């Protein structure tokens, strides 16, 4: 049996089932390939057919018939370099759009693409299909945020978003008192024809470009984030009860007499999770995770519910929060504040000394938090031993914290052993002066107390997902909202392996894309200068975690079943999961089951989309604050690491501050440098000097441009090459 003969069998089979997708093992069964040797030939055949674009690989590790239309419709995503990529629903790849083929489309537009003819030869690894945009189906935006500029007698708005390649013309009569140099919102009247620029009118002035307040407002407006709630929503919130009725208390499990408490950041105002622990006689532990019962207050299809779905998540800026829910709910009525009765949804788990969940119970409860801890307070207690402290913490509560820490360590060890990937993603925290400007940047330290809470939340989320997902029979199958994470693209993992090899590390791919091998790599780099760089590149090689009504498991965590249950104050999917759990405790009609099934795909798509918007907004806001901070440090010399190498220059990340800036190639004046893409390096033609990814550098802050959110550095002194460190490790 040859690869060619099996390939022909596969193509014949797919011709009979053009609208279905199959996993390789299902294909083997359907094609009567029963031995291990025959299965290996099938896998090679599928790889060959995929590489030669005869079949396509779809989500979930499945394969299907490849029928490529001449035109496709999808969303245009632009890079700052002017390259376009259109993600097409149903295709497991993006279509590349060269600048000359973009027409009048801009970033975010829904477009129709005419695909170019396939090449006769096999496409190179990583090479994308190419096409030309022939029609803008739907504009992704009606307005643009940017800076008003004047050139002779013409006014233009230069977009903040570098992915929008054209400036917008504004006639004098449509300036509406805006002045040159101000940050504005311009409404587009015409997107232009041929080579003409778009035209528009200014509808809002945000402030002086470069000022931190104006830049923050521009982030909010650019990403269309809502700063206030509609009156109809606030009206619904006003009439919500603030006192829990006796009838509701009697209906629930009363947990108010038990010890539970919250652990949150120092500046937190909404407390949506509390924990409890009871040591049992058989050495098992009864762990309780108690989550604010937001679903009791927000009814499906209410105006409040519609607004929560529209936002889908809270957005956290360094100096403010744009919440998913109004303050009365998020900070008062639902928040698990100490010494106040609160409605909760609790997961009680009996955990063995080896970290196995022996049994569990999911109950609607009423609780009363005994203490509001900060992460720093818990860390201090864990460092002091089991004796009670002077700060009114009883011996009981201190002992419970230590027992929780021990359980957390067991759960972490078990999770890592089973293939979880533990990314150390550093975060920056800002301190502000009296004017609201950043005066200090602090690199957050991951504490044992953080790990404690994370492990308990992960366990509760996993238990809830299994509770629904493990229903086997068709008649009991329950539609649900999962948090899923697909396995990474093999091409990206190979690129990652080549990348880390430059630092002297090895990523073993002999047995495929193993999460355990990825974790081994992260363990190796922990504590090194290049840790942040490698972590960042590894994260980029991963697929993005999303919400879905179809469960494929969570690759990064190594879980077969996972959902989001623990943060309904700030995430809409958690609210939906609470509702579903309650509904499945009742007798659900077939009609209602079908309604839920039809509704979940939209909720999953909206929640995933808004999560991406929130992440983009948070990154932009952090950049605004970093640039504002660096304005005060012009001329300062700092230590950093080369975090990126591009044709136009070197990206530098400053140690501890997590601030990234650039050394432009034009500022490397001691030689003429060539860009070596494979070596991730600049190499001097005359001197042979090399600047490579991961090298330690001493730099000086030479330019800060708050309007462009850019920081420029210049090299000072010698570069420290990572290759020397790699040799020492060997």
pLDDT given for residue 116 in this prediction: 81
* C-alpha to C-alpha distance for 425 and 150, rounded to whole angstroms: 42
Judge whether 206 and 182 are in contact, CB under 8 Å. yes
Q: Which fold has domain 3-65?
A: Arc Repressor Mutant, subunit A (1.10.10)
Q: Nearest Cα to 150, choosing from 167, 138, 133?
A: 167
Q: Which fold has domain 71-138?
A: OB fold (Dihydrolipoamide Acetyltransferase, E2P) (2.40.50)
Judge whether 337 and 573 are in contact, CB under 8 Å. no
Q: What are phi and psi of 719, to 5 degrees?
A: -95, 145
The CATH class given to the 633-729 domain equals: mainly beta
Distances, alpha carbon 308 to alpha carbons 175, 320, 567, 580, in Å: 35, 18, 13, 17
SS (H, E, C) 543-590: CCCEEECCCCCECCCCECCCCCCCCCCCEHHHHHHHHHHHHCCCCCCH
For strands 21-23 and 62-65, give the pairing. Answer: antiparallel
Got the DSSP string for 691-721? EETT-EEEEEEEEEETTTTEEEEEE-S--B-
* C-alpha to C-alpha distance for 458 and 446, rounded to whole angstroms: 17
* C-alpha to C-alpha distance for 368 and 254, rounded to whole angstroms: 9
* C-alpha to C-alpha distance for 655 and 647, rounded to whole angstroms: 23
* C-alpha to C-alpha distance for 210 and 146, rounded to whole angstroms: 11
The residues, ordered by sequence, that sit 6+ positions from 212 with a Cβ below 8 Å of its Cβ are 436, 437, 624, 625, 628, 706
pLDDT given for residue 400 in this prediction: 96
Judge whether 488 and 541 are in contact, CB under 8 Å. yes
List the domain boundaries for the chain.
3-65, 71-138, 143-209, 231-485+550-618, 490-542, 633-729
The residues, ordered by sequence, that sit 6+ positions from 413 with a Cβ below 8 Å of its Cβ are 355
Residues of the chain short of pLDDT 70, as ranges, are: 1, 18-19, 67-69, 90-93, 117-127, 194-195, 385-392, 472-476, 721-730
pLDDT given for residue 726 in this prediction: 40
Q: What are phi and psi of 238, to 5 degrees?
A: -60, -35
3-class state of residue 627 by DSSP: helix
Look up residue 175 and give its two tokens: 């300036």
* Residue linked to tokens 């015409």: 190
What's this model's pTM, rounded to 2 decimal places? 0.86
Q: Nearest Cα to 563, choosing from 446, 470, 447?
A: 470
Got the DSSP string for 78-122? E-TTS-EEEEETT-SSEEEE-GGG-TT--TT-EEEEEEPPPPSSP
Look up residue 604 and give its two tokens: 């999953």
The residues, ordered by sequence, that sit 6+ positions from 719 with a Cβ below 8 Å of its Cβ are 689, 690, 691, 695, 696, 697
* C-alpha to C-alpha distance for 611 and 570, rounded to whole angstroms: 11
Buried b (16+ CB within 10 A) or exposed e, 254-290: ebeeebbbbbbeeebebbbbbbbbeeeeeebbbbbbb
Domain 71-138 shares a fold with domain 633-729: yes
3-class state of residue 437 by DSSP: coil
The CATH class given to the 143-209 domain equals: mainly beta
pLDDT, mean over the chain: 89
Q: Which residues in 209-311 belong to E strands, given as ranges? A: 253-254, 262-264, 273-279, 285-292
Q: Residue ranges of the alpha helices (H) in 356-469? A: 375-384, 395-417, 448-469
328-349 pLDDT tens trace: 999 999 999 999 999 999 999 9
The length of the chain is 730
Look up residue 70 and give its two tokens: 């001449």
Q: Residue ranges of the alpha helices (H) in 223-290? A: 231-238, 246-251
* Residue linked to tokens 């201090």: 380
Got the DSSP string for 167-219? -EEE-GGG-TT--TTEEEEEEEEE--STTPPPEEEEEEEEEETTSHHHHHHHH
Buried b (16+ CB within 10 A) or exposed e, 210-237: bbbbbbbbbbbbbbebeeebeeebeebb
């Amino acid at each position: 049996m040859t690869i060619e003969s099996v390939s022909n069998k596969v193509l014949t089979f797919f011709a009979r089932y053009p609208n279905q997708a199959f996993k390789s093992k299902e294909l083997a069964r359907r094609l009567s390939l029963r031995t291990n040797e025959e299965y290996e030939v099938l896998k090679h055949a599928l790889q060959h057919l995929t590489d030669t674009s005869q079949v396509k690989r779809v989500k979930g590790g499945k394969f299907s018939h490849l029928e490529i239309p001449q035109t496709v419709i999808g969303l245009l995503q632009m890079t700052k370099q002017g390259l376009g990529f259109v993600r097409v629903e149903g295709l497991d790849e993006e279509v590349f759009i060269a600048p000359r083929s973009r027409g009048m489309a801009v970033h975010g537009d829904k477009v129709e693409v005419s695909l170019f003819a396939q090449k006769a030869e096999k496409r190179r690894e990583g090479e994308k299909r190419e096409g030309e945009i022939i029609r803008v189906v739907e504009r992704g935006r009606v307005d643009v945020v940017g800076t008003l500029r004047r050139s002779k007698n013409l006014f233009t708005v230069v977009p903040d978003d570098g992915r929008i390649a054209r400036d917008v013309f504004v006639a004098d009569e449509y300036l509406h008192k805006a002045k040159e140099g101000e940050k504005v919102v311009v409404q587009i009247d015409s997107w232009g024809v041929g080579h003409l620029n778009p035209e528009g009118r200014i509808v809002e002035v945000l402030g002086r470009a470069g000022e931190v307040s104006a830049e923050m407002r521009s982030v909010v407006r650019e990403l269309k984030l809502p700063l206030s709630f509609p009156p109809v929503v606030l009206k619904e919130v006003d009439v919500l009860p603030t006192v829990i009725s006796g009838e509701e208390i009697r209906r629930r499990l009363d947990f108010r007499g038990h010890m539970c408490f919250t652990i949150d950041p120092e500046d937190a105002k909404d407390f949506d999770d509390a924990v409890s622990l009871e040591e049992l006689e058989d050495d098992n532990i009864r762990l309780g995770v108690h989550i604010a019962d937001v679903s009791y207050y927000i009814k499906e299809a209410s105006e409040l519910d519609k607004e929560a779905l529209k936002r889908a998540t809270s957005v956290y800026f360094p100096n403010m929060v744009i919440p998913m829910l109004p303050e009365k709910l998020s900070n008062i009525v639902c928040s698990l504040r100490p010494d106040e009765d609160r409605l909760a949804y609790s997961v009680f788990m009996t955990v063995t000394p080896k970290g196995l969940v022996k049994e569990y119970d999911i109950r609607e409860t009423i609780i009363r938090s005994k203490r509001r801890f900060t992460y720093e307070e818990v860390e201090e207690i864990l460092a002091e031993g089991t004796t009670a402290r002077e700060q009114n913490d009883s011996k009981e509560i201190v002992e419970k914290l230590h027992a929780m820490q021990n359980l957390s360590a067991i759960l972490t060890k078990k999770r890592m052993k089973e293939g979880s990937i533990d990314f150390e993603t550093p975060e920056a925290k800002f301190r502000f002066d009296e004017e609201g400007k950043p005066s200090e940047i602090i690199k957050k330290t991951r504490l044992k107390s953080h790990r404690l809470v994370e492990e308990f939340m992960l366990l509760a989320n996993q238990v809830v997902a299994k509770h629904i997902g493990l229903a086997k029979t068709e008649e009991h199958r329950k539609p649900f909202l999962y948090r899923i994470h697909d396995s990474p693209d093999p091409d990206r993992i190979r690129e990652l392996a080549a990348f880390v090899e430059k630092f002297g590390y090895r990523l073993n791919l002999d047995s495929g894309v193993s999460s355990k091998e990825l974790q081994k790599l992260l363990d190796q780099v922990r504590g090194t200068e290049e840790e942040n760089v490698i972590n960042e590149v590894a994260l980029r090689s991963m697929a993005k975690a999303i919400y879905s009504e179809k469960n494929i498991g969570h690759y990064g965590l190594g879980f077969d079943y996972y959902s989001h249950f623990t943060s309904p104050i700030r995430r809409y999917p958690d609210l939906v999961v609470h509702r579903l759990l309650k509904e499945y405790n009742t007798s659900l009609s077939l009609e209602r089951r079908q309604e839920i099934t039809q509704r979940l795909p939209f909720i999953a798509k909206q929640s995933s989309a808004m999560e991406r918007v929130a992440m983009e907004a948070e990154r932009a806001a952090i950049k605004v604050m970093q640039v504002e901070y660096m304005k005060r440090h012009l001329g300062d010399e700092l230590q950093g690491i080369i975090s990126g190498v591009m044709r136009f220059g070197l990206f530098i990340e400053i140690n501890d501050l997590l601030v990234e800036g650039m050394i432009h190639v034009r500022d490397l004046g001691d030689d003429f440098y060539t860009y070596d893409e494979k070596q991730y390096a600049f190499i001097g033609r005359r001197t042979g000097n090399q600047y490579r990814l991961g090298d330690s550098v001493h730099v000086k802050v030479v330019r800060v441009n708050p309007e462009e959110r850019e920081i420029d550095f210049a090299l000072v002194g010698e570069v420290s090459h990572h290759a020397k460190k790699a040799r020492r490790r060997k």
